[in-house]
Structure 1
């Protein structure tokens, strides 16, 4: 793989209008960022659970604030990489004019990385999968292909994000978001089909990155950018190099910021958080700075900022040093997993504390359990209604599905995806309210 081909401002759905020399106030990749910021799927992230239930009397992060912070970190990672390259090759802008914009590409990809996550955090993904593996959805196994069934029983937010960005939903035009090829490729953490995803020995196959419905679309992007292909069937590609920086930005943010939220909710004491964050700050003067502060929240925020800054520097150094391996597609680690000591051990310790004390905290588990009931309940109503539609009740349910999601396709896989597009795009609050109304638990207001 080479940067000359990997960096492209060609737009999905508008390839014939591509103009690399177009002069404007914004670059093509800044346009990507702005299109995402102003989009409805992005706005909906403000009411989708990150970790802790929403809303609450104490501010905690949601998917939207998380995505904005990840984008900020990602932009810094990209900018540092460009500066390192330019320091070694001052005339790099002549040879690679788009390299200066890798920070904007990464920032846009970071904004989009969670667009496909359903309500109720990662439990929403599991709830959708459970409907097909252990719920009423088991009956559809013989009505779809083996590969399509794998999509359904392992519903993946990463693949769903790509679908949201490129699928021609009704009324959006063929290009949907019409993002650049490089931005689209930079969100594909696991560029393989679902039937072969789940191979934890290979980072790019740990999960999967596209549904069967978008496989040809992803292949078109990958071929245009010269992304290394591993095999044709099932389809497997190596990662676009910038995926490593998008992934690192996400890893840095959720590991560090979940601690800050846990402290605000009194799940972790100040001392517990200080013991975890202070070693990451990489500053002998930090204890003195902290001693001058009276507010514990302010202390945690300061350590959070310094810790993130240290991790950005460490991850950018690794990305630069491992360029040969990354460009060959042979680098089989996330950047956060190969940090130098003591950072690596500290991050593993943070991960352990997070699993034990944060992700298994009662309110977090409760929202996960509620997610199973709500998401499963919606699917058991809407999927039979849309596939069968042989009663007035079914017809009324179908009328609740926005027209943008409806399909002219007649196969069951496409129809099931219509319902999944609708349900996975719901916010936590809307999903709960709709579930209560169609189950007769509450009644809609006439006001």
Structure 2
């Protein structure tokens, strides 16, 4: 697959397109910048005040339905990722300005690039279902059950892939460009630059499940766009003039998406470990050793200072580690800027950093996998989450094919009428109806279920089983 751009552009012109302030879903040209509040700042504000962002307050980061104060939710995680993303964006832009022959494109400042990445980072988990990745697995498993095979035959190959390999990343893009603020009329109408930075996987399920190059195997099952938003993805790629991918028939990432990915990795690799210590899943020594490695100092020094608490010491070490990571990642970004523009960079930016940084990040992820993600308490909660979402899907998803039966005047049971009554406010807000299009109906009901936070999903699942929903 060719990696050539739609039209030949020099580096400065290409960066100018990638920083486009054009709003997806709007025919209006971006206004001339005449205040300190840029179009990208408006993106950030639209995200902060959106319903979907607020719902992240009670959505799982790592530990579902925890009552432990100070443990991260998707909201606090997203805020922290956005802070790191802003630093990465600003510092990368300052270094890129020195490298480019003519500096950054006219009208674009390092602060602008910082807020583009900041806004994208704020939105990076906005499509996550209740219970985090456990929720994604629950949805996939439910649709892959043999009982659903006959119904899914009514879908196209790509539509089936969208559902059976369900991705929160694609749900996030759907929210941003379709559902929030202006349903079916551009959604939030964010700038193309912010949406481009948001898209870690700018391709559809049909692309990710048929990779041409096994170098991309780690992302082979991930995708960032349902077929329902394929038009918006094409519009975005044309506006930004994204390169074509060398691994599949989709698009290569926007260069700033690599900074978003790095910000996310930094936060969950380091802060998830802190949460593990506070929940007694990890020891101080285990985490301090990794932080010292990332700082670049000998792990022999990983003792707890007598004048500091565990929380204070970890926070101080984490801040130093983050400072070094931001510097190292932005150096890798600028050193590989040509490959980023061409869409040929392999691996994450960490793969192009100093070996101690690579090893430290890998050690952090490995420790989390071994002692946090497989901890018995987390496994039990994930099993509960799986049952919870399956109960919601059992109840509501038949309405997706009832949409077809209803057109044939099939009577609805009392339970189905009541379930439809619960769904109706969501349909009214989205200005949508159940129709004879099964794929359309499935997505609408998934919008409803995945839009719940953990506590809402848990309560409703309890009530559907005949129990009064209680807070965990």
Flag structure 2 segments of 5+ consecutive residues without an equivalent: 6-13, 407-411
Q: Does the residue aligned with 2:198 lie in a helix, a strand or coil?
A: coil
1:176 equivalent in alignment to 2:160: no
1:441 aligned partner: 467
CA distance in 2 between counterparts of 1:166 and 1:42 reads 14
Q: 1:140 aligns with which of 147, 151, 154?
A: 151
Alignment map for 1:162-201 (pairs within 5 Å): 162-168=173-179, 172=183, 174-198=185-209, 199=211, 201=215
Q: 1:42 aligns with which of 28, 53, 68?
A: 53
Alignment map for 1:424-435 (pairs within 5 Å): 424-435=450-461
Give the CA deviation at 1:297.
1.1
1:258 aligned partner: 272
Greater Cα shift, 171-180 or 1-10: 171-180
1:96 equivalent in alignment to 2:106: yes
Q: Does the residue aligned with 1:259 lie in a helix, a strand or coil?
A: helix
1:398 equivalent in alignment to 2:408: no
1:223 aligned partner: 238
Q: Over aligned residues, Cα RMSD in angstroms?
A: 2.5
Q: Does the residue aligned with 1:416 lie in a helix, a strand or coil?
A: helix
Cα pair 2:140 2:164 within 8 Å, conserved = yes
CA distance in 1 between counterparts of 2:401 and 2:68 reads 42
CA distance in 2 between counterparts of 1:309 and 1:327 reads 26
Give the CA deviation at 1:290.
6.0
Q: Give the TM-score of the pair, scaled to structure 1.
A: 0.92
CA distance in 2 between counterparts of 1:23 and 1:409 reads 46
CA distance in 2 between counterparts of 1:135 and 1:376 reads 14
CA distance in 2 between counterparts of 1:250 and 1:55 reads 21
CA distance in 1 between counterparts of 2:292 and 2:106 reads 39
Change (3 A) 1:444 1:47: closer
2:9 aligned partner: none
Alignment map for 1:106-117 (pairs within 5 Å): 106-117=117-128
1:74 aligned partner: 85
Cα pair 2:292 2:298 within 8 Å, conserved = no
CA distance in 2 between counterparts of 1:443 and 1:46 reads 19
1:378 equivalent in alignment to 2:428: no
Cα pair 1:33 1:104 within 8 Å, conserved = yes
Count the aligned residue pairs. Answer: 442
1:208 aligned partner: 223
Cα pair 2:292 2:317 within 8 Å, conserved = yes
CA distance in 1 between counterparts of 2:99 and 2:470 reads 64
CA distance in 2 between counterparts of 1:99 and 1:149 reads 43
Cα pair 2:289 2:302 within 8 Å, conserved = no
Change (3 A) 1:60 1:289: same
CA distance in 1 between counterparts of 2:386 and 2:299 reads 47
Q: Does the residue aligned with 1:186 lie in a helix, a strand or coil?
A: helix
Q: Does the residue aligned with 1:41 lie in a helix, a strand or coil?
A: helix
1:346 aligned partner: 360
Q: 1:84 aligns with which of 76, 79, 95?
A: 95
